């Protein structure tokens, strides 16, 4: 019994380590995306290239390891909706939100409200219960986000629109997690993410042709300053991080895995601060801490007698 218990403990620890690694990579993704925006690279260009490259990398990996599975007829609607939620809606709204707010830290803070929206979806669609700690956590998170946002000083002209884009991205992520959980019992993590990105690249292709190639200059677009962050986003933040995250959702479930997204702004803020992209004052650090505690409280369910 003790041997089994030890194996379970080690397995759970591994899930947490994998989850944290994904969060760190996603925290870094805000910095790389911000670099591309600073170089005036069209969003429809680098999002499409990132997603297509990630899908192709996973296709090669699955083909080499003999793990490619065909999509069952009954699962096609789920995969189509999965790819619509993310990468299509999520990445476009997240990237535009980052561009309009002008801050990787604030963007990550809004994305960190994903667990709160997961609670809302649970109440509305699955009749899940909510307690006073959950309500207190939601309020703390909102206060924390306001503290971080207001500490930035002068906000951009389109700041509020940027926040709205980010909130749409949050809702899309809740849908993505739900569809991922329903598919994870029949497909491996790498296969789910592969189809998700390949289908998503088809959704994005018309926008890539329409707007992504505006002002295309191969000397700029293929330069190391542009190619490096795109490759990092595709290989690390999409292919690797999403594959690891599907395993997390499969192991912990939608609600528990979403708790880790509260740490995305912490990772993004620390990385931005270390690299000199943003200066964080005491109020911002307080807001980040408050929001993190709030999201964790919003997920607390307590223990019933049966549990």
Mean pLDDT of 190-200: 94
Mean pLDDT of 183-208: 93
* Per-residue model confidence (pLDDT) at position 98: 84
* Per-residue model confidence (pLDDT) at position 59: 95
Sign of CA dihedral 35, 38, 41, 43: positive
User: Is pLDDT above 60 for 49?
Assistant: yes
Q: Mean of the per-residue pLDDT values for the chain?
A: 82
3-state SS, the chain, equals CHHHHHHHHHHHHHHHHHHHHHHHHHHHHHHHHHHHHHCCCCHHHHHHHHHHHHHHHHHHHHHHHCCCCCCCHHHHHHHHHHHHHHHHHHHHHHHHHHHHHCCHHHHHHHHCCHHHHHHHHHHHHHCCCCCHHHHHHHHHHHHHHHHHHHCCCCCCCCHHHHHHHHHHHHHHHHHHHHHHHHHCCCCCHHHHHHHHHHHHHHHHHHHHHHHHCCCCCHHHHCCHHHHHHHHHHHHHHHHHHHHHHHHHHHHHHHHHHHHHHHHHHHHHHHHHHHCCCCCCCHHHHHHHHHHHHHHHHHCCCCCCCCC
Structure token pair of residue 297: 């409280």
User: Is pLDDT above 90 for 204?
Assistant: yes
* Per-residue model confidence (pLDDT) at position 12: 72
More confident residue, 60 or 132: 60
Sign of CA dihedral 7, 267, 174, 193: negative
Mutual angle of helices 2-38 and 90-101, in 10-degree steps: 60
Mean pLDDT of 42-61: 94
More confident residue, 7 or 82: 82
User: Is pLDDT above 70 for 135?
Assistant: yes
* Per-residue model confidence (pLDDT) at position 195: 96
**pLDDT band (50, 70, 90) for residue 305:** very low
Q: Give CA–CA dist 258/268, Å, rounded.
A: 17
* Per-residue model confidence (pLDDT) at position 109: 73
Are 86 and 200 in contact by the 8 Å Cβ rule? The answer is yes
C-alpha closest to that of 258 among 83, 94, 105, 113: 113
* Per-residue model confidence (pLDDT) at position 307: 41
C-alpha closest to that of 215 among 81, 41, 32, 68: 41
Mean pLDDT of 13-23: 84
pLDDT (tens digit per residue) in 69-118: 899 999 999 999 999 999 999 989 988 888 888 777 777 778 777 777 77
C-alpha closest to that of 18 among 194, 234, 245, 253: 245
Mean pLDDT of 272-291: 79
User: Is pLDDT above 90 for 192?
Assistant: yes
**pLDDT band (50, 70, 90) for residue 206:** very high
**pLDDT band (50, 70, 90) for residue 237:** very high
pLDDT (tens digit per residue) in 140-191: 877 877 776 665 555 556 788 988 999 899 889 888 888 888 898 889 888 9
* Per-residue model confidence (pLDDT) at position 23: 87
Mean pLDDT of 231-243: 92
């Amino acid at each position: 019994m003790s041997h089994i218990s030890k194996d379970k403990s080690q397995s759970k620890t591994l899930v947490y380590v994998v989850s944290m690694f994904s969060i760190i990579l996603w925290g870094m993704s805000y910095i790389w995306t911000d670099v591309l925006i600073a170089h005036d690279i069209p969003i429809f260009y680098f999002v499409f290239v990132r997603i297509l490259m990630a899908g192709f990398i996973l296709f090669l990996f699955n083909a080499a390891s003999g793990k490619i599975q065909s999509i069952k007829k009954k699962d096609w609607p789920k995969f189509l909706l999965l790819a619509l939620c993310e990468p299509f809606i999520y990445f476009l709204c997240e990237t535009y939100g980052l561009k309009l707010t002008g801050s990787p830290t604030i963007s990550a803070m809004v994305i960190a409200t994903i667990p709160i929206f997961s609670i809302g979806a649970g109440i509305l669609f699955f009749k899940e219960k909510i307690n006073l700690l959950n309500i207190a956590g939601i309020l703390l998170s909102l206060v924390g986000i306001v503290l971080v946002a207001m500490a930035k000083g002068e906000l951009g002209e389109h700041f509020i629109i940027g926040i709205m884009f980010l909130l749409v991205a949050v809702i899309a992520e809740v849908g993505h997690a739900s569809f991922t959980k329903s598919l994870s019992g029949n497909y491996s993590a790498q296969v789910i993410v592969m189809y998700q990105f390949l289908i998503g690249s088809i959704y994005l292709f018309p926008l890539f042709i329409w707007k992504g190639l505006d002002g295309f200059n191969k000397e700029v677009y293929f330069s190391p300053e542009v190619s490096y962050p795109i490759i990092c986003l595709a290989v690390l933040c999409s292919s690797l991080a999403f594959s690891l995250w599907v395993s997390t959702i499969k192991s912990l479930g939608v609600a528990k895995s979403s708790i880790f997204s509260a740490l995305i702004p912490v990772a993004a803020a620390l990385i931005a601060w270390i690299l000199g992209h943003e200066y964080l004052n005491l109020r911002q650090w307080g807001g980040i801490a408050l929001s993190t505690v709030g999201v964790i409280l919003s997920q607390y369910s307590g223990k019933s007698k049966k549990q």
